[in-house]
Amino acid sequence: MASSSESFVDGLPVAWYNLAADLPEPPPPMLEPSRDEPLEPSRLAAFMPAALAEQEFSRQRWVPIPPEVLEAYRSWRPTALVRATRLEKHLRTPARIYFKDESRSPPGSHKLNTAIPQAYYASQQGFRRLVTESGAGQWGCSLAMACSMFALECKVFMVNVSAQQRPYRRTLMRLWGGEVVVSPSLQTALGRRLLARDQNYRGSIGVAIAESIETALGETGAGYACGSIYNYVMLHQTVIGLETAQQLAALGETPDVVIGSIGAGSNFAGLAFPFIGQRLAGKPTRFLAAEPRACPSLTRGRYRYDHTDAAGLTPRVKMHTLGHTYVPPDIYACGLRYHGCAPLVSHLVNLGVVEPIAISEPAALRAGWLLAATEGVIAAPESAYAIRAAINEAVRCRRQHTSECIVFCLSGHGLCDMEAYDAYLSKRPKISAEKASLIELLRAGKLRLA
Ligand SMILES: *Cc1c(COP(=O)(O)O)cnc(C)c1O
């Protein structure tokens, strides 16, 4: 990766970093939905803005961020890089733990980083409306807000089970002018088919993606927007890692371990890719991708060609996948319930550059609670998987007496996720046989990872 210090203005990079330019071997190509032939870029441009279809196949190392997008980023970026000293102290670790705080965007997660350019390119091309899917609602909120900034309509197919768990995210989407449709819905052929088979079908992201694409393809002036998976999403998210590299450098730090949670790979990629570019140039950093044990695409899935949606409408990509018809169990981290993982991240796992780890839901929620108790920060249940991986590394440093620099992505806040923490708090005594109150534990210096 080229030195990028001169390409920053007021703490914000002026170009996204495209890791594809620096890979030792390119990732396998995207294939036609039902033929073993490489996909023509024009086929993507049929249902999404042409600029994004072009970025998907780009090998250009630095992609300039349009001035309109930079101006929108400025309303909340650069985000803070926070040293979690109180968490370090409670873990009695010699490690230095930092988190990049992506939770402070107006909708509350990193997803606004890609929603803004997607809405911008769509408006430039004269689209009237963007259609998308949303699990936990983080992506739907981000896209609805970005669409409102560029005067576009926004329609969100929200996974049924998540819509019930996250009623406030639905309200946020509507406040920003979005139309929310519970998926599976009667508005699409796929939804009607699934509901005819099972009236109480609870949905999955794969189904919601298929419903969005079916809708976008069937309407003139409508485009499809996707919150993760695609190379161009990973590209937009690199603002996270580029800022982090600059912020760490200002502190005289370089990371030993870089960590992100894995839904379909975008917050991990955003933080890690700029550092992976440096590692490919010789720096010995480790990269940990933390996924839920309940939806283990990287640790248990197969690396093969598969569709990104549940209906098989989308082009096939080579990725670690549990199969596109897989319906993951309900977990609180709805944003991590996806059957596959981004082709670029999957490729890096296959090359041995990225280490995947699977974490159980109670272990993740306990880590979220520990961060709240020590740093005061309420993390999204999705982010809690990365927190747990960071804590595990910090505990390893304590055992090995090594002082390493650990950086994780706090991908979002959990202020709309109280159900998850309620469940955690009411089950906690059973999980850990721990009867003392938080304050007693803090006083006694006994706040530990059970
Ligand atoms: C969507 C989401 C994720 C998972 O998606 P990725 O593309 O893997 O980043 C993680 N955290 C939060 C807060 C999310 O909203």
Residue nearest to atom 2 of ligand 1 (CA): 335
Report yes or no on 284 lying in a domain. Answer: yes
Residue nearest to atom 5 of ligand 1 (CA): 263
pLDDT of 88-131, one tens digit each? 999 999 999 999 999 999 999 999 999 999 999 999 999 999 99
Residue nearest to atom 7 of ligand 1 (CA): 266
Tell me which residue range forms the domain holding 356: 72-108+233-427
- CA 97 to chain centroid: 20
pTM for this entry: 0.95
Report yes or no on 143 lying in a domain. Answer: no
Does residue 228's CB lie within 6 angstroms of at least one atom of ligand 1? yes
Helix runs in 83-155, H state only: 85-91, 112-124, 138-149
Rounded Cα–Cα distance for residues 170 and 156 (Å): 10
What six digits make up the tokens of 406?
């650990």
Does residue 383's CB lie within 6 angstroms of at least one atom of ligand 1? yes
Count how many domains the chain has: 1
Report yes or no on 344 lying in a domain. Answer: yes
Rounded Cα–Cα distance for residues 201 and 160 (Å): 8
CB atoms within 10 A of CB 164: 13
Report yes or no on 126 lying in a domain. Answer: no
**Centroid of ligand 1 to alpha carbon of 138 (angstroms):** 8
**Centroid of ligand 1 to alpha carbon of 283 (angstroms):** 27
pLDDT of 181-202, one tens digit each? 999 999 999 999 999 999 888 8
Report yes or no on 407 lying in a domain. Answer: yes
**Centroid of ligand 1 to alpha carbon of 177 (angstroms):** 22
Report yes or no on 339 lying in a domain. Answer: yes
pLDDT of 228-247, one tens digit each? 999 999 999 999 999 999 99
CATH number at residue 403: 3.40.50.1100
DSSP string, 188-225: SHHHHHHHHH-TT----HHHHHHHHHHHHHTSTTEEE-
* Backbone Cα Rg of the chain: 21
**Is the pLDDT at 429 greater than 70, yes or no?**
no
Cβ 307 vs Cβ 322: under 8 Å: no
**Is the pLDDT at 84 greater than 50, yes or no?**
yes
**Centroid of ligand 1 to alpha carbon of 263 (angstroms):** 5
pLDDT of 314-324, one tens digit each? 899 999 999 99
Report yes or no on 348 lying in a domain. Answer: yes
**Centroid of ligand 1 to alpha carbon of 446 (angstroms):** 31
